[in-house]
Structure 1
Amino acid sequence: MEPREFFIEDRLEKFRLKAFCNLGESGLSHFLLEEVMEMGQISWKDLSEIPLNDSPNQGSFALREAIADLYPGVSPGQVLVTTGTGEALYLAFHVGLTPKARVALIWPAFQALYEIPKMLGAEIIKVPHDRAFFASTWKEIDADLYIINHPHNPTGKTFLDPEWEAVLTHWKEEKKTVLFDEHYRFLPGSGSLGKTGVDPNYSFYGTGSFTKCFGVTGLRVGWLVAEEGFLKKARSFKDYLTHTVSPISERIALGLLKSKESFLPKIQNRVRENIQMFDSLWRDLPHVKSFVSPAGGLVGWLELEPGISSEIYADKLFEKTGVFVLPGSNFEEEGYLRIGFGEREEKMKEGLFRWKECTDLI
């Protein structure tokens, strides 16, 4: 069995480089290499001295150590560096799932979170986002694997602390296996680093990256956190895929993680200001019904008026204004648009003005 076409990525490939105002991306607008090197306090001499042999298959020790420091009680030996979170998810599912496994996840969801398990023969249990952030909901669901994408893409929802602690306690008591996909942990609603559920001692595994939050998706660096036995199998499987991550990408990734306190607050402030700007204006946009400001991450879920095709709306919006948004149909949920808040402030301001003035969209 093969996975279906990747709806989201197909549309992103078609529009993201042509858009005047890119609100369809799920990551921060990109920085130039020169800017990234300054952010990571990396010199050209540092890069010139990198030997272009293979990195260790598991990832350099220094980078794994920096990643482990993001998680309480995690050691470098419990970290596998991967080519983005896409590879980390692919490895985790192939190692951890058996045929006909029951997989529960928040719906709607990023396609890779359910398409790969389906390809492997799993049964998908969709937990609607309006109920998914209550511990009581998960206590009623019996699954072999629970996937918690947090902060959630595409809605931007997060667990309140009491609900979070209650559901973690429940899963620990029931000895459940949970995969925490925490790509937006660097962009919490407040504070410097969001909560994590990752704890290999309880089969609470994790996938993550900083690339979307730091505006460096082209680095293609992600990771999988798990107990050593699970990770050993994943590392072996990785040999059939990318084998290793570029040592240049690893060196830049290390610099960014070590220097994040110097630049991340500015990024977080930019995203929060963009969210506030949109929250103050969305009611003036044509043919929209509701919007809840994201509590974390940099995407939100805008509801359209009933009966409107999200794809037609998005296509016309791009054609008439140059503003790119992602239709809910790409998440297999009609009647919504996913809005990204990583665009540069001046472009977002102009893009929202154009959108507001464009009434001929249906």
Structure 2
Amino acid sequence: MIATVVWGTGNVGRAAIRAVEAHPGLKLAGVVVNNPDKVGKDAGILAGLHHELGVTATGDADAVLAASPRAVVYAASGEVRPLEAIADIAKAVKAGAVVVSPSVYALYDHRNAPKEFTDPIHEAIAQGGGSLFVSGVDPGWGNDILPVLMTGLASTIDVVRCQEIFDYSTYEQPDSVRYLVGMGQPMDYQPPMLAPMVPSMVWGGQIRLIAKALNAEIQEIKETVDRRPLEKTVTTRTMGEFEAGTQGAIRFEVQGIVEGEPRIVIEHVTRIHPGCAPDWPQPPSGAGAHRVIIEGRPRIEITVEATDEGENRSAGGNATAVGRLVNAIGWLAEAGPGFYDALDVPLRPVTGKLGRK
């Protein structure tokens, strides 16, 4: 059994605790929290399992790492604190742990990441013998390994398109929904997530990974952004009202240009209400889905819908992203020290899971 720590208990951390507990080859060895109100609480309760796991949360990360856990799922936020997250991750790698994380966008494609992000990790690997694999919650598998696998079914490939299509009224993160992506804000508000070059910073690494797998040369990465206002005021279950005339939907693309054309595209279509921008791509049912389309011969399309924490598809996306990371721990432990990406780490079945609750 691989002793595994979960660091962070937000949307991703909750799913990580559940995934580690369910994994036949892992043992939950600790939980690190930042919120002092969570210190001393049982991991099972924090994860929404409604029963205790016998592991209590602590705010002392150094003490947890001093016990030399074999693996760490780093689930603390890195969106607005990437350098702090890098420092935390490097500390865990230096302690000799296999570290998996979705928290630092730039490290999806670490070979092209800024040196201030990668140097601390390389130093930690050299000093402590740990390893790191970063994959996204968007989810990473939907923008890297899944489309790459699907290209193996095609005779010719014109465009590889990855879509995330979601109703954000189900995403219980009001700060992110209202301010990071701008839902409910005036149409002249500049959402930080849509600022020029930010989408490329977040998803450009996955564009480059797909290109690497296909032996294609990316000439440049371009962005397109479209925004639509709400035609009428809507009320959400958890985040209150979003007024008519404010931003109700966004659609953006990060495009990898190959031979002058957008050939590898990551597209997000996000609404606060399904009635806004009805002409844009829609999920087959419910709140959302992830879709990969291979334009070529034959044309191939696959749509993935996942639910968790009831019927929450936002939580389902997080849970599948966590599954990709947690299920990679065993392979990483066997592979040895290193800095890995999505093309390095295989997507493989986990024996002993069938029928486990």
TM-score range, shorter chain: 0.3 to 0.5
Bigger share in strand: 2
For CA contacts below 8 A with separation 6 or more, give which structure has more relative contact order: 1
Normalised to the residue count of structure 1, the TM-score between the two structures is 0.32
Normalised to the residue count of structure 2, the TM-score between the two structures is 0.32
